[in-house]
Amino acid sequence: MALISCENICLAYDDKEVISDLSFQVNRGDMLCIVGENGSGKTTLIKGLLGLISPVKGKIVMGDGLRQKEIGYMPQQTMAQKDFPASVFEIVLSGCLASRGLKPFYGKKEKTAALENIKKLGIENLKNRCYHELSGGQQQRVLLARALCATKTILLLDEPVAALDPVATDELYHVIEDLNKKEKITVIMVSHDIKCSIGHSTHVLHLQDEGTFFGTVAEYKKSSQAKRFLGGCCDHD
Residue 129 predicted with pLDDT over 70: yes
pLDDT tens across 194-220, in order?
A: 888 888 999 999 998 778 999 999 999
Mean pLDDT for 154-176 is: 93
CB 135, CB 168: distance < 8 Å: yes
Domain range list for the chain: 1-25+52-66
Mean pLDDT of the chain, nearest integer: 89
Q: Mean pLDDT across the stretch 127-149?
A: 95
Angle (CA) 123-126-130 rounded to 5° is 135
Position 236 scores a pLDDT of: 42
Would you state the pLDDT for residue 106? 83
Residue 16 makes CB contacts below 8 A (sequence gap 6+) with none
- Name every residue whose Cβ is closer than 8 Å to that of residue 121 and which is 6 or more positions away in sequence: 141, 142, 144, 145, 148, 175
CB 137 within 8 A of CB 111: no
DSSP 122: T
The model's confidence at residue 79, banded by pLDDT at 50, 70 and 90, is low
